Structure 1
Amino acid sequence: MKIKLYLLLLLISTSIFAQQKVVTSIDTTKNKIGAEFKLTLKTSVDTLSKVVFPKLKNIGALEVIQSYPIDTIKKDDRYELIKKYGLTQFDSGKYTIPSIKILINDKAFLTDSIKVEVANVQVDTLRQKMYDIKDIVKAQDSLGDWWKYLLGILLILGIGAFVYWYTKIRQKKKIEEEVYKTPIEKATSLLNTLEKKELWQHGEIKAYYSELTDIARNYIEEAIEIPAMESTTSELIAGLKAASLKKKMKLSQETIENLFTVLKQADLVKFAKSKPLEFEITEDRNRIQKTILTLDEAIPVEVPIEEDTILNEAQKQKQIKILLRKKRSQRIVVSVLSVFLLVSTITIYFMATKGYNYVVDNVLGHPTKELLEGEWVKSEYGNPGVIVETPKVLKRIDLTKTLPKDGMALIKEMQSFGYGSLLDNFYIMVSTIKYKKEGALDLSKSIESSLQVLESQGAQNMIVKQEDFQTNAGITGKKGYGTFTRIDGNSQSSSKIYYEILLFGQEGGLQQIMMLHEEGDRYANELSARIMNSVELKSANN
Structure 2
Amino acid sequence: MKKQIFFLLLLLSNTIFAQQKRVETSIDTTKNKIGAEFKLTLKTSVDTLSKVLFPNLKSFGQLEVIQSYPIDTVKNNDRYELIKRYGLTQFDSGRYVIPSVKVLINNKAYQTESIPVEVANVQVDTLKQKMFDIKDIQSANDTIGNWWKYLLGLIVLLGIGVGVYWYLKNRQKKKIEEEVYKTPIEKATSLLNNLEKKELWQKGEIKEYYSELTDIARNYIEEAIEIPAMESTTSELIAGLKAASVKKKMTLTPETIENLERVLKQADLVKFAKSKPLEYEITDDRNKIQKAILTLDSSIPVEIAEEEDILLNEAQRQKQIALQLKKKRNKRIVTSVLTVVILLLAVTFYLMATKGFDYVKDNLLGHPSKELLEGEWVKSEYGNPGVIVETPNVLLRTDMSKSLPKDGAALVKDMQSFTYGNWVDSFYLMVSTLHYKQETQVDLKKSMEAYLQYMETQGAQNMIVKQEDYETKEGITGIKSYGTFTRDNGLTSGKERMYYEILLFSQEGGLQQVLILHQEGDKYANEISERVLSSVELKHEDR
Q: TM-score, normalised by structure 2?
A: 0.52
Report the counterpart of residue 323 of structure 1 in structure 2. 324
Indicate the SS of the match to 1:506. coil
Question: 2:366 corresponds to which letter in structure 1?
Answer: G
Give me the identity figure in percent.
61
List aligned pairs for 1:42-191, cutoff 5 A.
135-138=137-140, 140=142, 144-180=145-181, 185=186
Counterpart Cα distance in 1 of 2:367 and 2:194:
66
Query: Could you say if the C-alpha distance between residues 299 and 507 of structure 1 is closer, same or farther in structure 2, counting changes exceeding 3 Å?
Result: same
Report the counterpart of residue 351 of structure 2 in structure 1. 350
Counterpart Cα distance in 1 of 2:472 and 2:364:
37
Counterpart Cα distance in 2 of 1:484 and 1:442:
24
Report the counterpart of residue 403 of structure 1 in structure 2. 404
List aligned pairs for 1:127-526, cutoff 5 A.
135-138=137-140, 140=142, 144-180=145-181, 185=186, 222=193, 301=293, 304-305=296-297, 312-489=313-490, 491-526=492-527
RMSD over aligned Cα atoms? 3.3
**Shift in Å, 1:302:** 6.0
Report the counterpart of residue 49 of structure 1 in structure 2. none
Structure 1, residues 102-129: CA drift from partner, whole Å, max 9, x if none?
A: xxxxxxxxxxxxxxxxxxxxxxxxxxxx
Question: 1:171 corresponds to which letter in structure 2?
Answer: Q
Task: Give the gaps of 5 or more residues in structure 2.
Answer: 1-133, 199-289, 303-309
Counterpart Cα distance in 2 of 1:443 and 1:520:
29
Kept in 1, the 8 Å contact 2:180–2:321? The answer is yes
* Number of aligned residue pairs: 309
Query: Could you say if the C-alpha distance between residues 221 and 384 of structure 1 is closer, same or farther in structure 2, counting changes exceeding 3 Å?
Result: same
Report the counterpart of residue 290 of structure 1 in structure 2. none
Question: 1:421 corresponds to which letter in structure 2?
Answer: N
Structure 1, residues 137-167: CA drift from partner, whole Å, max 9, x if none?
A: 336466x333222222221111111111122
Kept in 1, the 8 Å contact 2:469–2:478? The answer is yes
**Shift in Å, 1:425:** 2.9
Counterpart Cα distance in 1 of 2:195 and 2:472:
95
Kept in 1, the 8 Å contact 2:179–2:187? The answer is no
Kept in 2, the 8 Å contact 1:509–1:540? The answer is no
Indicate the SS of the match to 2:500. strand
Kept in 2, the 8 Å contact 1:477–1:504? The answer is yes
**Shift in Å, 1:344:** 0.3
Counterpart Cα distance in 1 of 2:179 and 2:195:
20
Counterpart Cα distance in 1 of 2:466 and 2:533:
17
Report the counterpart of residue 261 of structure 2 in structure 1. none
List aligned pairs for 1:28-39, cutoff 5 A.
none
Query: Could you say if the C-alpha distance between residues 474 and 226 of structure 1 is closer, same or farther in structure 2, counting changes exceeding 3 Å?
Result: closer
Kept in 1, the 8 Å contact 2:182–2:317? The answer is no
Counterpart Cα distance in 2 of 1:165 and 1:535:
59
Indicate the SS of the match to 2:296. coil
Off by >4 Å, runs of 4+ in structure 1? 181-184, 218-221, 223-227, 305-308
**Shift in Å, 1:307:** 8.8
Indicate the SS of the match to 2:497. strand
Q: TM-score, normalised by structure 1?
A: 0.52
Counterpart Cα distance in 2 of 1:450 and 1:161:
61
Structure 1, residues 231-287: CA drift from partner, whole Å, max 9, x if none?
A: xxxxxxxxxxxxxxxxxxxxxxxxxxxxxxxxxxxxxxxxxxxxxxxxxxxxxxxxx
**Shift in Å, 1:337:** 1.0
Counterpart Cα distance in 2 of 1:398 and 1:133:
46
Task: Give the gaps of 5 or more residues in structure 1.
Answer: 1-131, 188-217, 228-297
Indicate the SS of the match to 1:393. coil
Counterpart Cα distance in 2 of 1:349 and 1:440:
61
Report the counterpart of residue 211 of structure 1 in structure 2. none
